[in-house]
Amino acid sequence: MKVLIVDDDRSSGAAVAEFIEEQLGYEISLCHSGDDALNLLQTDTYKMVISDMRMPGMSGIDLLKKIKETPEGESTEVVIMTGFGDMETSIEALRGGAYDYLLKPVNIEELAILIERVAENMRLKEENRDLKENFQKEISSVKREEAERINYYETTIREITSVGKIGVFSDAMRGVVRMAVQFHADRSVPVLIEGETGTGKEVMARLVHFGDEEEVLQPFISINCSAISPTLFESELFGYEDGSFTGARKQGKPGKLELAQGGTLFLDEIGEMPLDMQPKLLRVLQQREMYRVGGSKPIELDVRVICATNRNLKEMVAEKTFRSDLYYRLNTGRIYIPALRERREAILSFSQIFLDEYAKKRGRKFKFISKDAKKIMHEYEWPGNIRELKNTIERATLLYNNLELRPEHIRFLQADEEELNTGDQPLTPGRIVLPDDGLHIEQLELEIVRKALKKFDNNKSKTAEYLGITRSALRSRMNKL
């Protein structure tokens, strides 16, 4: 493997190059500017580029972008060297496709581990490419549909012990997974996971907790902020002492923060946290201690805090429904999971995986997805994201038993996008026309809830207000959906 070092500090660059060449045995090229690096990349092939962040002229970020724009960019791993003050830029680099980053002055042990990891990754890619080439030769007698079905697993699923499987079918999700593993390394940094309902925010939270490690024994405690009454929120989170309020246990009770000691507290739907509780959570993040309700002794905390939301917290800050100081503290470690419609290349891969899973689970014959069904699934907007896709495949395998998934098996998706042949007329009291052949009232009610959620981009507060029901009543209907 050939490695290119780019550093305007000649002594620093030479030291890194000498170590890699003499101690690790890799072939090295050294240059001192981004322009020189691009010239070398045009004349030779480098599997790895290690570049300084701050250089005169072209920065490390700019060099990264230009490398990724080249035909060979996808197979070239770029590592950025940066100072402690450039953490935000380092995260930007990871989002832009950097393999990793190193803090300066470079620790040679970390450098060696990182380079060997890249080399192993390259070796596995070459083995995978060879296996695919051999596979293509062997399947010449297999019908084309079967070959297409298998090829959906190219980039495939990343196996993560204790978390399960995470589908990684796009550059965007590769960056998200890499960032989650990166945040795993620093438990003091709070993490905010943003994304629409059904994108897999809790799965990503578990990845931040477990990382790539074989076994993590520390607790992962989860709270859904929208499911707790505001009056009980403080005691649920912080616990309480004996006699702190009417009905309290005599011996008191530890809260979720104490239960998460040494591990992770996951606050789902953080946008629903009561406003008066937010400064108390901020104090926990800053002081790393808490008091039980009714308690007078501080309890030191060793807890990683991960939050998730499908709401726009920045807009909530502007509307003064979420505290700005808590938002900016949580935003230190931000992960955004793109909606499924923003990474359509993943739709068919997930569909085939779920089809195989539920066909095996239910003893069905399903193996393939027809061309017309693929077109429907690829063009559908998937407002419920991966969760909706999974439920769609589960429903099809529950109702049908064919070798091929066809359009008639998922026709209800198109019905969701059309206004049920009513000419888009609003549902108005006093002007409802009942059908002649009967009406399933619960089905109609769920259809109204589904469309209202879509109307307000899955904002449960606005949806409940629009429908004139409580949030708990809305949650009950959503469970039925």
The pLDDT value given to residue 211: 84
Residue 137 in any domain: the answer is no
Residue 385 in any domain: the answer is yes
Residue 323 in any domain: the answer is yes
The pLDDT value given to residue 454: 81
Instruction: Give residues with Cβ within 8 angstroms of 255, minimum separation 6.
Output: 235, 236, 237, 238, 239, 240, 290, 292
The pLDDT value given to residue 157: 46
Same domain assignment for residues 326 and 346:
no
The domain boundary, picked from 321, 336, 351, lies at 336
The pLDDT value given to residue 426: 60
The domain boundary, picked from 286, 320, 336, lies at 336
* Mean per-residue pLDDT pooled into runs of 10, the chain (481 residues): 91 90 89 93 91 90 90 87 73 83 84 86 75 56 42 44 64 87 90 93 91 76 89 88 62 86 94 93 93 88 95 92 94 92 89 91 90 91 91 92 91 62 51 62 81 84 87 79 67
CATH of the domain at 37: 3.40.50.2300
Please, are residues 192 and 309 in contact by the beta-carbon 8 Å criterion? yes
Same domain assignment for residues 385 and 465:
no
Same domain assignment for residues 168 and 79:
no
The pLDDT value given to residue 241: 84
The count of domains in the chain is 4
Q: How far apart are CA 297 and CA 331, in angstroms?
A: 30
Same domain assignment for residues 460 and 408:
no
CATH of the domain at 205: 3.40.50.300
Same domain assignment for residues 26 and 93:
yes
Residue 393 in any domain: the answer is yes
The domain boundary, picked from 293, 321, 336, lies at 336
Same domain assignment for residues 186 and 308:
yes
Residue 281 in any domain: the answer is yes
Residue 144 in any domain: the answer is no
- Domain limits at 49? 2-121
The pLDDT value given to residue 321: 92
The pLDDT value given to residue 422: 45
Q: 3-state SS of the chain? A: CEEEEECCCHHHHHHHHHHHHHHHCCEEEEECCHHHHHHHHHHCCCCEEEEECCCCCCCHHHHHHHHHHCCCHHHCEEEEEECHHHHHHHHHHHHCCCCEEEECCCCHHHHHHHHHHHHHHHHHHHHHHHHHHHHHHHHHHCCHHHHHHHHCCCCCEEEECCCEEEECCCHHHHHHHHHHHHHHCCCCCCEEEECCCCCCHHHHHHHHHHCCCCCCCCCEEEEEHHHCCCCCHHHHHHEECCCCCCCCCCCCEECHHHHCCCCEEEEECHHHCCHHHHHHHHHHHHHCEECCECCCCCEECCCEEEEEECCCHHHHHHCCCCCHHHHHHHCCEEEECCCHHHCHHHHHHHHHHHHHHHHHHHCCCCCEECHHHHHHHHHCCCCCHHHHHHHHHHHHHHHCCCCEECHHHHHHHHHHHCCCCCCCCCCCCCCCCCCCCCCCHHHHHHHHHHHHHHHCCCCHHHHHHHHCCCHHHHHHHHHHC
Please, are residues 340 and 299 in contact by the beta-carbon 8 Å criterion? no
Same domain assignment for residues 319 and 377:
no
The pLDDT value given to residue 328: 93
